[in-house]
Amino acid sequence: MITELNQRLGGSATQPTPVKAHYEKYVYPDLPRLASVRGCDAYALNLEALWARFNGERLDPNEGRILLAGCGSFSPYPTAVANWRTPITALDLSTANLNRARQHAWLHLHFNVDFIEGDLTRATELFSEQAFHFIDCYGVIHHIPDDAVALRTLHALLKPGAFARIMVYSRCARRSIQAARRALRLLEIQNVQEIRALCRKARSGSRFRECVDAAPEAAFDSGLADLFLHPYARTYFLIELLAKLDQADLELLGFIHPGALPDIGAEIARLRNLETARTLTTNFILFAGRKEDASRRRVWKDFKARQETWVSLNPVIKKFLPRFPLIPIKPAPRLGFDNPVINFAEKRLLARFKTPVAKSVIEPDCLEAVEKRLHALFLIETQN
Ligand SMILES: C[S@@+](CC[C@H](N)C(=O)[O-])C[C@H]1O[C@@H](n2cnc3c(N)ncnc32)[C@H](O)[C@@H]1O
């Protein structure tokens, strides 16, 4: 069926697939090349911090390997801001996206990214198996007709203990966008100018207007094209997504979309209730690891509960801490919840962890604040 679908989508060895052709035409996201991110907002992409969270080990950043699977035109830059010493591989189908991403990273003086054109579903032909510690696959799987193969490939490319961040569209949250997309297709509307004209004409309060107004990417042409003209964009009910992960031998490690609960079971129940009530408004963002590594993660969980651990600063927060001005700053929420503000008192609290501190020496009245910062990933906890 997948082969049929691929054929229907028109891809062949010599002709680009419609998905590739789409991204050659519409660079996504189409941000100005000088658009920059605040260093502190990249904290949740730092490999050492994430490795510590899932494995409780210190990872030498020079030894780590990161893959951006379907990198688009921008993500190599913030990933490099978060991981300035780690080799990053940026893989994408689209030459136009790769060129733009390279320009963006280079203009901001980040040179630790290799840009490779290729298809995620065939990435084991490009890289050796178990090659990466962290794979970021954000907003890509739902554009791949053979999503099962793509997920299996992610699994094959993960090293023992490694993890992937995955974002896919939720059926419920994308309902009105998908409906508008189908309607535009029926009306044979195939370019952004016509959609813009329709947007201008759409009555305020109409479903089309509401769904355009609610989507920040509608502000730029390639975003509008991504919303309404994409040749292949499927959506998932939670249960379908969980089954796909399971079939690919990937274990769900936690959700990080806005409002996600830290407990996986509780979050699954919450999402399913929202789906039943048709009121879910977020796409799914999660971390997944190899099922084979479940026992290794359990060992770390048990160790943490029973033995001495060490608490230190997330390297990104450490790097940018001296640069935080007197005006309080709140790093952007990247893990599904609001962050603590970094003001003078917070800076003092965090500064204590510039070098690792044994958890047992942290005063009991400080522990709650430290746990909160560990949860926020401003601080990291390791076995040594
Ligand atoms: C919506 S964009 C997301 C880009 C980026 N991950 C981000 O979050 O900004 C989807 C990207 O996935 C790429 N893509 C789609 N299918 C792919 C495939 N089979 N292999 C590699 N890249 C793919 C597209 O070319 C596009 O750049």
Helix (H), strand (E) at residue 91: strand 88-92
Tokens of 150: 């793509």
Q: Which CATH class is domain 2-172+235-300?
A: alpha beta
Check if 225 has its Cβ closer than 6 Å to any atom of ligand 1: no
Check if 11 has its Cβ closer than 6 Å to any atom of ligand 1: no
**310-313 and 379-382: which strand pairing?**
antiparallel
Report the pLDDT value the prediction gives residue 14, as an integer from 0 to 100: 54
User: Per-residue pLDDT averaged across 94-101, rounded?
Assistant: 98
Candidate from 140, 144, 165, 217 with most ligand 1 atoms within 8 A of CB, to mutate: 140
pLDDT at 1 over 70: no
Q: pTM for this one?
A: 0.94
Check if 119 has its Cβ closer than 6 Å to any atom of ligand 1: yes
Q: What is the pLDDT of residues 259-276, one digit of tens each?
A: 999 999 999 999 999 999
Ligand 1 nearest-atom number relative to CA 29 = 9
Ligand 1 nearest-atom number relative to CA 94 = 25
- Ligand 1 centre from 56 Cα, in Å? 31
Check if 329 has its Cβ closer than 6 Å to any atom of ligand 1: no
pLDDT at 5 over 50: no
Q: What is the pLDDT of residues 131-154, one digit of tens each?
A: 999 999 999 999 999 999 999 999
- Ligand 1 centre from 58 Cα, in Å? 30
- Ligand 1 centre from 119 Cα, in Å? 9
Candidate from 73, 92, 229 with most ligand 1 atoms within 8 A of CB, to mutate: 92
Q: What is the pLDDT of residues 226-257, one digit of tens each?
A: 999 999 999 999 999 999 999 999 999 999 99
Check if 26 has its Cβ closer than 6 Å to any atom of ligand 1: no
Ligand 1 nearest-atom number relative to CA 137 = 6
Distance of CA 54 to the CA centre of its chain: 16
Check if 143 has its Cβ closer than 6 Å to any atom of ligand 1: yes
- Ligand 1 centre from 274 Cα, in Å? 28
User: In the structure, what pLDDT confidence band is assigned to residue 6 with cuts at 50, 70 and 90?
Assistant: very low
DSSP secondary structure string for all residues of 262-316: SSHHHHHHHHHHHHHTT---S-EEEEEEEGGGHHHHHHHHHHHHHS--EEEE-HH
Counting residues of the chain whose pLDDT is more than 90, the rounded percentage is 82
Q: What is the pLDDT of residues 184-231, one digit of tens each?
A: 999 999 899 999 888 888 888 888 888 888 888 888 899 999 999 999
What average pLDDT does the chain have? 93
Domains of the chain, residue spans? 2-172+235-300, 175-228, 308-382
User: Per-residue pLDDT averaged across 40-67, rounded?
Assistant: 97
- Residue 105 contacts residue 80 (beta carbons within 8 Å): yes
pLDDT at 3 over 90: no
Q: How far apart are CA 128 and CA 122, in angstroms?
A: 12
User: In the structure, what pLDDT confidence band is assigned to residue 104 with cuts at 50, 70 and 90?
Assistant: very high
User: Per-residue pLDDT averaged across 370-379, rounded?
Assistant: 97
Q: What is the pLDDT of residues 155-195, one digit of tens each?
A: 999 999 999 999 999 999 999 899 999 999 999 998 999 99
Under 8 Å CB-to-CB from 219, ≥6 apart: which residues?
none
Q: How far apart are CA 262 and CA 384, in angstroms?
A: 25
Report the pLDDT value the prediction gives residue 360, as an integer from 0 to 100: 97
Q: What is the pLDDT of residues 302-334, one digit of tens each?
A: 999 999 999 999 999 999 888 766 778 899 999
Check if 22 has its Cβ closer than 6 Å to any atom of ligand 1: no
Report the pLDDT value the prediction gives residue 212, as an integer from 0 to 100: 86
Report the pLDDT value the prediction gives residue 205, as an integer from 0 to 100: 83
Report the pLDDT value the prediction gives residue 198, as an integer from 0 to 100: 87
Check if 145 has its Cβ closer than 6 Å to any atom of ligand 1: no
- Ligand 1 centre from 74 Cα, in Å? 11
Report the pLDDT value the prediction gives residue 325, as an integer from 0 to 100: 64
Check if 67 has its Cβ closer than 6 Å to any atom of ligand 1: no
Check if 89 has its Cβ closer than 6 Å to any atom of ligand 1: no
Check if 123 has its Cβ closer than 6 Å to any atom of ligand 1: no
Q: How far apart are CA 376 and CA 365, in angstroms?
A: 19
Check if 30 has its Cβ closer than 6 Å to any atom of ligand 1: no
